[in-house]
């Protein structure tokens, strides 16, 4: 078993250009012209009588054919024999089926996308995707070439013309053979092409990451560079302190407790003494038996169900497809149960609160947007109305407002209806929670991989346990009360369309959660 626990899009800087040019495209010629050129290409020089006999023409018809071929510059005569001109022989160059290609010059509009490193064109399979919230790589800039994007794009258009035609024209017969001249080049807005990087864990607890197979669409040199820079970027991530035991204690999670080291009566972790040759070695127990946890809970039980069938173990980011399916199914059942148990005095929660953990690898994929859409649609199907999904994201206390607005805008693009930003609660930085108060929720901890402490694997559970829901709501209330900023977009009904809006956050926005945190 290999479990994909996260997908992160890394950013390849790119830009689209609008190129007005003249190109050579195929033109139709009379069938006799085509056959005559093909015949002379195969046989070499022929006398006029041989051509007359081959085609079964009269003398006058043969003379007319020769005159036509001469007017097109396709044949020349020497010693009474006719052969192809160098121009005519050139019609066969580059032909995969050994047939002549006759061309004409036409004007064409082309919109290639170049990555801005080596100015290699990017195929539609990559350039058609767009996700601004990608992980930035440390691309070294070429100061000398900086600001020469149009000139470099024009040179690259000539150099890679046939590839650009192949990327833009699916039908081969529509493709031009060459670029005769470039008339004008204008540049569009730079953007990032997202290239997915997948993180996986196996039954032995080994964690690996690799770039998506889409990387094969890029040239060799760029592929190698992307792999190297991705590894460097992940290796440079900020390391965090580990409060995993605090996560287990906060939720009193019996399943995760099984994989923590057994404590002695004095509260200290029990160590073991083993013999190594002639020496006795004191071995400190693992802080968390990740290997056994993965094997038993996810390899053997495929996400063990526990807590009197109220909770299920989860491995990986909440927005990963497998977790999405399980959470949406459980949310639907819990929402239906809530509805059937509701009375006339029951207040339905209007918001689902998602507390985002402190890690640069969270949410760097469109999977987040798809998941939020599914969550809202699931509640709409059961209750008749959707709920808003609200994000509570970490941000340093002294973060400049412009960076707050940018981060908020990216999260709104990911599907959140509004976003609160502010410092994380101390010792809760690696917690991730999602809760529809009183109905259903999930909690994850970004567990630090011992072999690479900048990399983390999300570990946790989904639940409809009343006790767990109280604590999830409490954590969401406290995280919201800690927020300093609120970012949202206009409704489109106030004359400001969908303009980005920003204001200071109010702790009172989360007071309604007090009704859901009473044990």
- The pairing of beta strand 485-489 with beta strand 452-463: unpaired
Contacts with 142 (C-beta within 8 Å, 6 or more apart), sequence order: none
What is the percentage of the chain residues whose pLDDT exceeds 70?
A: 91
> Quick count: other Cβ atoms within 10 Å of Cβ 411?
24
Q: What is the pLDDT of residue 265?
A: 42
Q: What is the pLDDT of residue 270?
A: 53
Contacts with 208 (C-beta within 8 Å, 6 or more apart), sequence order: 199, 200, 201, 202
Number of residues in the chain: 519
Name the packing angle between helices 48-55 and 31-43 (round to 10°).
120
Please state which of the ranges 63-67, 200-204, 318-322, 506-510 shows the lowest mean pLDDT.
200-204
Coil, helix or strand at residue 367: helix
Task: Specify whether the CB–CB gap between 179 and 155 falls below 8 A.
Answer: no
- For residue 324, the surrounding DSSP H or E stretch is helix 321-341
> Tell me: the pLDDT tens digits for 333-365?
999 999 999 999 898 999 999 999 999 999 999
Measuring CA to CA, which residue among 469, 408, 401, 407 is closest to residue 435? 469
Coil, helix or strand at residue 41: helix
Strand partners, 114: 15, 121
What pTM does this model have?
A: 0.79
H-type helices in 128-270, by residue range? 149-159, 161-168, 220-235, 244-251, 254-257
> Tell me: the pLDDT tens digits for 12-58?
899 999 999 999 887 777 888 888 988 998 899 999 999 999 989 99
pLDDT band at 124 (very low <50, low <70, confident <90, very high): confident
Token pair listed for 431: 């917690």
Contacts with 276 (C-beta within 8 Å, 6 or more apart), sequence order: none
pLDDT band at 149 (very low <50, low <70, confident <90, very high): confident
Contacts with 274 (C-beta within 8 Å, 6 or more apart), sequence order: 280, 281, 283
Q: What is the pLDDT of residue 262?
A: 75
**SS3 of 184-206:** EEEEEEEEEEEEEEEEEEECCCC
> Tell me: the pLDDT tens digits for 152-187?
999 999 999 999 998 888 887 788 888 989 999 999
**Residue in the block written with tokens 């009588």:** 49
Token pair listed for 450: 């011992």
Q: Measured between alpha carbons, how far is 89 from 38 in angstroms, rounded to an integer?
A: 10
Q: What is the pLDDT of residue 264?
A: 43
Q: In what order do the strands lie in the sheet with 75-78?
A: 46-47, 81-84, 75-78
Mean pLDDT of 97-111: 81
Q: What is the pLDDT of residue 297?
A: 96
Q: What is the pLDDT of residue 397?
A: 93
Mean pLDDT of 109-125: 87
What is the percentage of the chain residues whose pLDDT exceeds 90?
A: 56
> Tell me: the pLDDT tens digits for 436-466?
999 999 999 999 988 777 889 999 999 999 9
Q: Measured between alpha carbons, how far is 360 from 515 in angstroms, rounded to an integer?
A: 33
Q: What is the pLDDT of residue 269?
A: 52
> Tell me: the pLDDT tens digits for 243-263?
999 999 999 999 999 999 875
Query: What Å distances lie between residue 479 and 17, 19, 245, 351, 423, CA to CA?
Result: 44, 50, 20, 15, 8
Q: What is the pLDDT of residue 122?
A: 87
Please, what is the average pLDDT of the chain? Answer: 88
More confident residue, 75 or 220: 75
To 5 degrees, how large is the angle CA 389–CA 391–CA 397? 165
> Tell me: the pLDDT tens digits for 266-317?
455 555 555 556 555 555 566 899 999 999 999 988 999 999 999 999 999 9
Mean pLDDT of 75-94: 86
> Tell me: the pLDDT tens digits for 371-425?
999 999 999 999 999 999 999 999 999 999 999 999 999 999 999 999 999 999 9
């Amino acid at each position: 078993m290999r479990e994909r626990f996260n997908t992160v899009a890394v950013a390849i800087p790119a830009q689209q250009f609008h190129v007005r040019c003249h190109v050579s495209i195929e033109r139709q010629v009379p069938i006799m012209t085509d056959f005559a050129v093909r015949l002379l290409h195969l046989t070499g020089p022929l006398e006029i009588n041989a051509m007359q006999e081959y085609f079964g023409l009269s003398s006058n018809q043969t003379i007319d054919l020769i005159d036509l071929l001469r007017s097109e510059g396709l044949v020349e005569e020497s010693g009474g024999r006719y052969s192809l001109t160098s121009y005519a022989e050139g019609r066969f160059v580059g032909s995969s089926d050994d047939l002549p290609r006759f061309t004409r010059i036409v004007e064409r509009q082309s919109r290639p996308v170049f990555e801005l490193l080596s100015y290699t064109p990017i195929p539609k399979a990559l350039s058609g995707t767009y996700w601004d919230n990608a992980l930035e790589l440390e691309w070294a800039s070429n100061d000398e070439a900086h600001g020469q994007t149009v000139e470099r794009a024009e040179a690259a258009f000539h150099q890679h013309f046939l590839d650009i035609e192949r990327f833009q024209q699916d039908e081969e017969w529509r493709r031009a053979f060459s670029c005769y001249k470039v008339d004008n080049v204008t540049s569009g807005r730079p953007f990032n092409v997202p290239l997915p990087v997948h993180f996986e864990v196996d039954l032995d607890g080994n964690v690996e990451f690799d770039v998506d197979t889409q990387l094969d669409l890029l040239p060799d040199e760029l592929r190698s560079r992307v792999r190297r820079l991705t590894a460097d970027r992940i290796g440079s991530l900020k390391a965090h302190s580990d409060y995993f035991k605090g996560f287990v204690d906060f939720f009193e999670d019996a399943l995760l407790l099984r994989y923590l080291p057994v404590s002695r009566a004095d509260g200290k972790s029990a160590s073991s003494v083993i013999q190594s040759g002639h020496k006795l070695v004191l071995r400190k127990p693992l802080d968390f038996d990740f290997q056994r946890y993965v094997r038993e809970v996810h390899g053997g039980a495929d996400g063990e169900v526990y807590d009197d069938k109220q909770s299920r173990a989860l491995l990986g980011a909440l927005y990963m497809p497998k977790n999405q399916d399980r959470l949406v199914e459980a949310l639907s059942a819990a929402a239906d149960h809530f509805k059937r148990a509701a009375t006339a005095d029951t207040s339905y929660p209007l918001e689902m609160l998602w507390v985002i953990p402190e890690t640069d690898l969270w949410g760097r994929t469109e999977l987040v947007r798809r998941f939020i859409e599914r969550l809202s649609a699931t509640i709409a199907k059961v209750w008749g109305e959707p709920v808003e999904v609200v994000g509570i994201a970490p941000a340093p206390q002294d973060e400049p407002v412009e960076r707050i607005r940018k981060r908020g805008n990216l999260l709104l693009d990911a599907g959140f209806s509004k976003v609160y930003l502010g410092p994380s609660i101390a010792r809760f930085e690696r917690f991730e929670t999602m809760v529809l108060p009183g109905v259903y929720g999930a909690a994850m901890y970004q567990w630090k991989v011992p072999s690479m402490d900048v990399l983390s694997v999300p570990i946790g559970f989904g639940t409809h346990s009343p006790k767990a829901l109280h604590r999830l709501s409490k954590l969401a209330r406290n995280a919201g009360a800690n927020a300093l900023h609120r970012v949202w977009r206009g409704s489109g009904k106030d004359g400001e369309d969908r303009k980005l809006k920003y204001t200071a956050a109010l702790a009172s926005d989360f007071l309604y959660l007090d009704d859901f945190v009473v044990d």
